[in-house]
Amino acid sequence: MRHARGFTLIELLLATVLLVAGLALAFTTLGAASRTVTRGEAIGEHSERVRSVSTFLRRRLTGARPVGFAFDQTRAVAMRFVGEPQRMRFVADLPDYLGRGGPYLHDLSVVDDGEGVRLVISMSMVLAGEVVEERPERPPEVLADNLREVRFRYRALDERGRMGDWQDRWEASEQLPLQVEITLVDRNGRAWPPLVVAPPLAPAFSSFNVPLETQ
C-alpha cells in the first residue's frame, strides 16, 4: 500500500509567503477604502457646514430691515446698518418659532483667540430705536470656527448711478448697503464659496458719497 506524500519545507514556506502577501494586500485594500470613506465623510461634513452657515447668513441679511437701533449724535441720524471689515450690525426679524419673534439687532463679529478665527453672532431685541439689554445676557453663538480669515465688504451705487467698488466700511449707517459680501477661509487655506447678498429695501440710489437728504 502506497503512503500519501507530505508537504515539503519549500512548499510550506511558499504557502506561508502567499498567505502573508494575500493578507497584506487585503489590509492595504481595507485601509485605502477606510481612508476614502473618511475623506468622503469629511468632505460631506464640510459641505453641509458651508451650506448651513451660508443659508443662515443669507436669510438674516435678506431679512434686514431699515430700522434704527441707535442714534449717531455726530451726524444726527439713526443708525440702521453699521459695517466694518470684521463686524456688521443690522436689524432683522426673528421667526416666532425661535421664541424670540420681532425685530432684533444682529451683531456679527470675528473673534481671534490666537488658535483660530471664529464667526459669532449676538442678538438683542430692538424697541423704539434702541437695543433692549437682556438679563442675564445671552452669550454669542458660534456660527463657524477653525477659520483663517473672515471679511465683510459693502457696495453701493456711485454718484453716476453705477455699481461702485467694494468698500471695507459702510459709512452711510442711516441706510442699508446695496450688496454685502462675506468671505470665509478655512484654517487650511480652503476658501468657502463667495457669498454676496442684496439686503431688501435698500434704496437703489444708495451711495457712499451722496448725502441722504439730497437723494
What H or E segment, with its residue span, contains residue 77? strand 77-79
Q: How far apart are CA 61 and CA 214, in angstroms?
A: 27
Instruction: Inform me whether the pLDDT recorded for 210 exceeds 50.
Output: no
pLDDT tens readout for residues 126-185:
988 888 887 777 789 999 999 999 999 999 988 888 888 999 999 999 999 999 999 999
**Percent of the chain scoring above 70 in pLDDT:** 82
Instruction: Inform me whether the pLDDT recorded for 209 exceeds 50.
Output: no
Q: How far is CA 14 from CA 5, 26, 28, 56, 89, in A?
A: 17, 18, 21, 63, 74
Residue with cell 502577501: 21
In this prediction, residue 74 carries a pLDDT of 87
Q: Are 173 and 79 in contact (CB under 8 A)?
A: yes
In the chain, what is the greatest distance between 2 CA atoms, to the nearest angstrom? 119
> Which region, left, alpha or beta, applies to residue 129 given φ > 0 means left and ψ of -120 to 50 means alpha?
left
In this prediction, residue 20 carries a pLDDT of 80
User: Which cell numbers hold the place of 103?
Assistant: 425685530
Least-confidence region, from 42-51, 149-158, 184-193, 194-203: 42-51
